[in-house]
Amino acid sequence: MRRQFISGLVCLALLLCGLSARAQQPPDGSGTQSSAAPQAPTPTKPPTAPDQQTPERSDQTIIRNINLVDVLFTVLNRRNKLVPDLEKENFKVLDNNVQQSIRFFSRQTDLPLRIGMLLDTSNSIRDRLKFEQDAATNFLYSVLRRNKDAAFVMTFDDEPQVIQAFTGEADKLRDQIVSTRAGGGTAIYDAIYEACAKQLSHPPRPPGDQPDVVRRVMILISDGDDNLSNHTRAEAIEMAQRFSVVIYAISTSTQWISLSQTDPNKMGDRKALKTEGDQILQDLAEETGGRAFFPYHVDDLDQSFQDIGDELRNQYSIAYSPLNYVANGKYHKIRIETPDHKGYQVRARRGYYARTYRDVTGTPEQSPAGSLIQ
């Protein structure tokens, strides 16, 4: 009995020892000690301070102020011959009579042309429609270079209409020009505005790997009398200036007094008494750096067309940031001078409106003069 009692105590002691050893084992329940070193606990990343947190991606529009005015111009000497070899130091730029620092300067020669041919087909030019067709066709065959230049044809009477989209084939342009008919009112300012905003603002790019730089030009053939436009003359001029469009105007008016035709220098510009419409055409041209012509016969324009082509392929480009520019909508006068050459004539646009880009396009980018649009 005693031996059984002692055996029971021994068994109880062994059981208690086993329970004690189990309580000291690792939580995974393994009775043998692992040979691998215990892993260090993963450090907890400290919370990021509010001002150090990575910013979330935003799709908000970034508004940039682009106060860069670029001006294209040509220089002629006393004999009305082009002067193509001047340097940046030869020019002085004034914005509202304040001299500016020229940031960019270049001589731009032989650039591809993008031409807008605008034909007045209103009832007022019915008797001169054949003159318009011949003048437009002769210009295109004189100036347009195949595989390099491109042109479109727009007619305007009650409203503007593109009758031939951009093409480099003069024959296609001619076919559409000779098919025009006259009738209706005259919306010349709407035509200029739409041609600049919808066609010449984004003309076809040059083929191949050439730089995306072209020369924008408008040939406007009309009597200058507007009676239907929704846009004003100032708005039409501003749109042309914004996209650096140079307007060459050809008057269809026959109310003129002939000068002596013995002087070849006066051929193509023989009008002594200009009508109100002629004055409008001259204003449109001079405000954009172009010229107006007042011929009677189409033949009078032959030399003029050659001169236009030469001018467009031998121009200078200047860009500057106006001092104290404020987008308040006010008009700024531009004047470019050649102090070292008093007899030289600079033909450039006369100025620009200091508006925000939103005023014209509805987008928030700011640009007083097209911002180097070429």
Task: Check the CA dihedral 251-186-124-176 and report its sign.
Answer: positive
**What is the second-level CATH architecture of the domain 111-312?**
3-Layer(aba) Sandwich (3.40)
**DSSP state string for 181-246:** ---S---HHHHHHHIIIIIITSPPPPSTT--S--EEEEEEEE----SS-SS-HHHHHHHHHHTTPE
Please state, rounded to an integer, the average pLDDT across all residues of the chain: 81
pLDDT of residue 336: 98
- Helix/strand/coil for 342: coil
Residue extents of the structural domains in the chain: 61-109+316-374, 111-312
Q: How confident is the model at residue 273 (pLDDT cuts 50, 70, 90)?
A: confident
Residue 340 has pLDDT above 60, yes or no: yes
Is the model's pLDDT at 214 over the cut of 70? yes
Cβ–Cβ under 8 Å, residues 153 and 191: no
pTM: 0.76
pLDDT band at 42 (very low <50, low <70, confident <90, very high): very low
